[in-house]
Amino acid sequence: MAAEGGLGARAAMSPDIAVPGTIGLRHGTLNQIESLGQSISNIAPTLTPAINISVVAAMAGTGTWLAFLIATLGLMFVAGSIASLARRHPLSGSYFVYIGRTIGPVAGALGGWAMLDAYLLTAVAALISVTIFIDNTLSAFGLAAILPPRWVLLLVAGGLVWAAAYRDIRLSARLGLALEGASVVLIVVILGFVLVRHGGVIDPVQLDISNLSFGGVTQSLALAAFAFVGFESAATLAKETRDPQRLIPRAIFGSLGSVGLFLTVSCYCMVLGMNDDAAAIGASSSPLTDLTTRTGIGWTAGFVYLSATVSGFACALASVTAASRMLFSMARYKVMGRGMDAVHATHQTPHVAVGICCVIVLALCIATLPMSALDAYGTTATLATFGFLVVYLLIAISAPLDLRSVGRVRPIHIVVGAIGALLMAGVILGTLYPVPPWPYNVVPYVFAGYMLIGAAWFGSLAVRRPAVLRMIEHDLEA
């Protein structure tokens, strides 16, 4: 009886401890490939040459490749901080817990709130991209006349995401990686054609750093960073991963490094293939179609956008998977409604949290219908990016503090955290000045309003139910 009481008490204190007779998440299921698949699917590298490059090139011009390179290097410092925390705290709450254990439970709750914005809005942007890619695919095959309304496509794609996320986590991880891998291979083949046609890889225009628009590159960094967000999402599946202290950091660094190289090279080759006409890429809703046409392989455009369609779906699925784990963990810490921490008896997935996330995503998708698809994509993607950037900033601060609490901090940890924090702060400031064009100029203030709502909620929770925050603080320090 004493042993049972001890276990029950610890389970009440820690939402990641399973009690006999209760149902928890499926522990130790994902291997290295599957955890890597979660991060790569969430990044969705195919989306950048298919659509993200347009919004970045519109600002950065021939410095587009440089924007992606800077974003890669900056996020590597953040990845170092995430890996440090993931090794010490392999929990499903990940960023909510990481921040709460070091800066405090209220900051942790706000970090979780920002991450929910990040993952849910990424899913919205990904589903919107699916409708754009389906349009491009049908147009390439001469079937544009049968294109269904956007709202129909959104509902069908959203329903498929729910069905996949509701079931076994291994299905989601494997499906996402397989779909994304096929898409990347096709784009690499097309870029190979571009280089052969050009007769080399040297482009004096793009490599002339003095002629690049550094103001444009700075403005575009938030959107360039969005191309990588999701590399950290493997950490949200820590409880469902085998040996998470080892596999999660590998997935984080592996996904960021490989995708960073792919995107930097891809964007360089695309601008090269367009004869350095970055403005044409920035004005296009189907840049790969334009590229294949100029390269003389226009017949491949339909297949490219078909692959981009499944990539967008994989990204939406990975985003909903990560968001549902965040919501699940926050509910178990009693920061959110308790009903959201239910686990399916058969699939061992947080099915209630999955359903809530899908409803929110679809509602937001429908709300964007008055906008053009490209504007809706760019706006929701930028709004999601702010959530990631705020959490990355807090994580860079948290990591050295966490190590200091156990007497293991070294100068290198402080340097990595400081550089990561400064770079993320710089990216955030770069989205405010120079002032970007409409509608991106209002996005930072929409996000600020969202965070104020979260602050008001958690502040009222501290007043109405102070025992909850005290319990969280005690739990996070245990």
CA distance 432 to 441: 7
Length of the chain in terms of residues written: 478
Q: Residue 74's pLDDT is what?
A: 86
DSSP secondary structure letter of residue 465:
-
- pLDDT at 471 > cutoff 80: no
pLDDT band per the 50, 70, 90 thresholds, residue 362: very high
Report the mean per-residue pLDDT for the chain. 80
Mean pLDDT of 107-120: 89
Q: Measured in whole angstroms, how far is the alpha carbon of residue 416 from the centre of its chain?
A: 22
Q: Residue 2's pLDDT is what?
A: 35
The pLDDT tens digits of the residues spanning 172-192 come to 566 667 777 777 888 888 888
Contact present, 289 and 136 (Cβ < 8 Å)? yes
pLDDT band per the 50, 70, 90 thresholds, residue 474: low
Q: Over the range 442-459, which residues count as b (16 or more CB within 10 Å of their CB) and which as e?
A: ebbeebeebbeebeeebe
- pLDDT at 1 > cutoff 60: no
pLDDT band per the 50, 70, 90 thresholds, residue 364: very high
Mean pLDDT of 41-49: 81
Q: Which residue has the higher pLDDT, 313 or 350?
A: 313
pLDDT band per the 50, 70, 90 thresholds, residue 91: low
3-state secondary structure of 15: coil
Percent of the chain with pLDDT over 90: 19
CA distance 416 to 356: 37
User: Among 82-86, 167-171, 417-421, which is the least confidently predicted range?
Assistant: 167-171
- pLDDT at 476 > cutoff 60: no
Q: Residue 339's pLDDT is what?
A: 66
Domains of the chain: 28-477 (1.20.1740.10)
